[in-house]
Amino acid sequence: MRHGKYRFIVGFLVPPLLLYGIFVLSPYAQTFYIALTDWRGLSAELNFIGLENFAELVRDGAFWNALRHNGLLLVIVPAVTIALALFFASMLNLGGRRGGSAVQGVRGAEFYKVVYFFPQVLSIAVIAILWQFVYNPRSGLLNGVLDVLGLGFLRATWLGDPSLALWAVMAVLVWSGVGFYVVLFNAAIQAIPRDLFEAALLDGAGRLATFRRVTLPLLWDSVQVAFVYLGIIALDAFALVQIMTFGPGGPDDSTMVTGLYLYKNAFEYARFGYATAIGVAMFFLTLSLAVLTLRVTRRERVEY
């Protein structure tokens, strides 16, 4: 009987572990080796060149440029997305003060909730193409709206202007990400007992004070997770940049991100060894970011 149980468990565990080993662990392990070669990716020929790829990486201005863009995304996208999502989520739940009695959301909260979530339903490819149209300098929605509002002087080429293109990308990242976190924070807020908010209200706390003293501390776990997720997205941003920007990565490398630079080296310049070295560098960066975020944001858990 006992014997049979183990066989049962092993039978279930071995196939997935095997698959995981073959398709996840082993490629990862090989990545570290390929990063030390000059493999072109077109034949089985390759030479071991030690740390040369990494030495080149350190000197490669284009790589640092791409990394700087990821850094900028990392600083701005998570902060803005989370701030907006927190604002929307708390307004949806606690923003209404009709008659000053009960704690409730703003009027039409249910409707807004659905609207915010819309972008989440679209695939990143659709989002990118959609925004390409929005940003079109001659027939795009954005310039059109600016005209209608009498702000024609603000018209721009958006994705065609190196000083604006990365900001245009960030705006889309925030736009497409915010809905998910509104829903996430919304669920977390609803898990907080109502009487805490009512007590705060009775004590005369305003909306801002309630948010700072009650909502945010109780949401901290969710916020922390959101930071890690968004941080990883900011370190990547590959798909959106690849589809939406000119070049892609342009104009003039103004939207180049590390993932795209990796891709370019591998698939355009036939430098798989070097591209893999970039991948290894990004692996460690992403890993450190996740660990760091979880460490830094660690706080005493509030029990209720």
Partner 1 sequence: MRPATLVHRSSRPDLPRREVLRRAFAAGVLVTPVGGVLASCATAGGGEGGEGAKGKVSRENPLGVDPSAPLEVVIFDGGYGEEYAKYDENIYRQRYPEAKIEHSAIQRLQEALQPRFVAGNPPDVIDNSGSYWMDIGALVADKQLTDLSELLDAPSLDISGKKVRETLRGGVEEFGKYGDTSYVLDYAYNVYGLWYSSSLFREKGWQYPRTWTEMLDLCEEIQRSTDMAAWTYQGQFPQYFHWTILSMAAKVAGPEVLINIDNLEPNAWKQPALGQAVEAVYELPRRGYIMKGSHGLSHTEAQTEWLQGKAAFIPSGSWLESEMQDITPDGFDMVMGPHQNIAASDRLPFEALLANPGEHFIVPARGKNARGGLEFLRIMLSNRAAKKFSELTGSLTAVDGSEEGLSLGSGFDSVRTALEAAGANTFGYRFDTWYTPLWDEMIDATGALIRTEIKPSDWMARCQKKADEIAKDDSILKYKRQPG
Minimum Å gap between C-beta 225 and partner 1 is 14
- Residue type present at position 14: V
Its sign, for the CA torsion 144, 146, 150, 155, is negative
Q: Does 77 bind partner 1 (CB under 8 A)?
A: no
185 close to 219: Cβ distance less than 8 angstroms: yes
Q: Which of residues 182-211 bind partner 1 (CB under 8 A)?
A: none
User: If DSSP codes are grouped into helix, strand and coil, which group holds residue 212?
Assistant: helix
- The span of 88-96, 123-131, 175-183, 212-220 binding partner 1 (CB under 8 A) equals 123-131
Tokens of 172: 């889309």
Would you tell me how many other CB atoms lie within 10 Å of the CB of residue 214?
Answer: 20
Q: Which of residues 166-185 bind partner 1 (CB under 8 A)?
A: none
Q: Which of residues 212-271 bind partner 1 (CB under 8 A)?
A: 232-233, 235-236, 238-239, 242-243, 246-248, 250-253, 258-259, 262-264, 266-270
Judged by phi (left if over 0) then psi (alpha if -120 to 50, else beta), residue 270 lies in: left
For tokens 């490398």, name the residue: 253
Q: Which of 104, 136, 224, 297 binds partner 1 (CB under 8 A)?
A: 136
Cβ closest to partner 1, residue 215 vs residue 265: 265
Minimum Å gap between C-beta 37 and partner 1 is 9
Q: Does 81 bind partner 1 (CB under 8 A)?
A: no
Q: How many CA atoms lie within 13 A of 197 on its CB side?
A: 24
As a whole number of angstroms, the distance between CA 243 and CA 132 comes to 9
Cβ closest to partner 1, residue 91 vs residue 239: 239
37 close to 48: Cβ distance less than 8 angstroms: yes
Interaction site with partner 1 (CB under 8 A): 23-24, 26-31, 34, 38-46, 123-125, 135-138, 157-162, 232-233, 235-236, 238-239, 242-243, 246-248, 250-253, 258-259, 262-264, 266-270, 272, 275-276, 278-280, 282-283, 286
